[in-house]
Chains A and B, each alone.
Chain A
Amino acid sequence: MTPNKIILIIPAFNEEKSIKDTIELVTKTGYDYIVIDDGSTDKTEQILSENNYNFVSLCFNLGIGGAVQTGYRYALENNYDIAIQFDADGQHDIESIKDLIQPILDNQADFTIGSRFIKKNSSNFKSSFLRRIGIHLISNVIFLFSKNRVYDTTSGFRAANKKVIKYFTENYPKEYPEPISNYELIKFGYKVTEVPVKMHERTAGKSSIHSWKSAYYVINVLLSIFVIKLRRKK
Chain B
Amino acid sequence: MTTLQIEMAIAATILFIIIITSIAKNRLSIKNSIAWLLLPIIFIIIAIFPDPLQSFAHWLGFETLSNFIFLVIIALLILICFFLTVSNSKQQDEITKLNQEISILKKGQNGKSKS
Contact = CB atoms under 8 A, between A and B. Distances in A.
Nearest to B113: A54
Contacts of B114: 32-33, 53-54
A77 B100 CA distance: 12
Contact of B96 (A32, A49, A55, A62): A62
Interface of A is mostly: mixed
Contacts of B107: 55-57
B94 to A, nearest CB: 12
Contacts, number: 42
Interface in A30-61: 32-33, 49, 52-60
Interface stretch (A67-75, A176-184, A196-204, A225-233): A67-75
Interface residues of A, number: 20
A57 B113 contact: no
A59 B106 CA distance: 10
16 contacts: A32-B114, A49-B112, A52-B112, A54-B114, A55-B107, A55-B112, A56-B104, A59-B99, A59-B102, A59-B103, A59-B106, A62-B100, A69-B96, A69-B100, A73-B100, A77-B104
Interface of B: 96, 99-104, 106-107, 112-114
Interface of A: 32-33, 49, 52-60, 62, 66, 69-70, 73-74, 77, 174
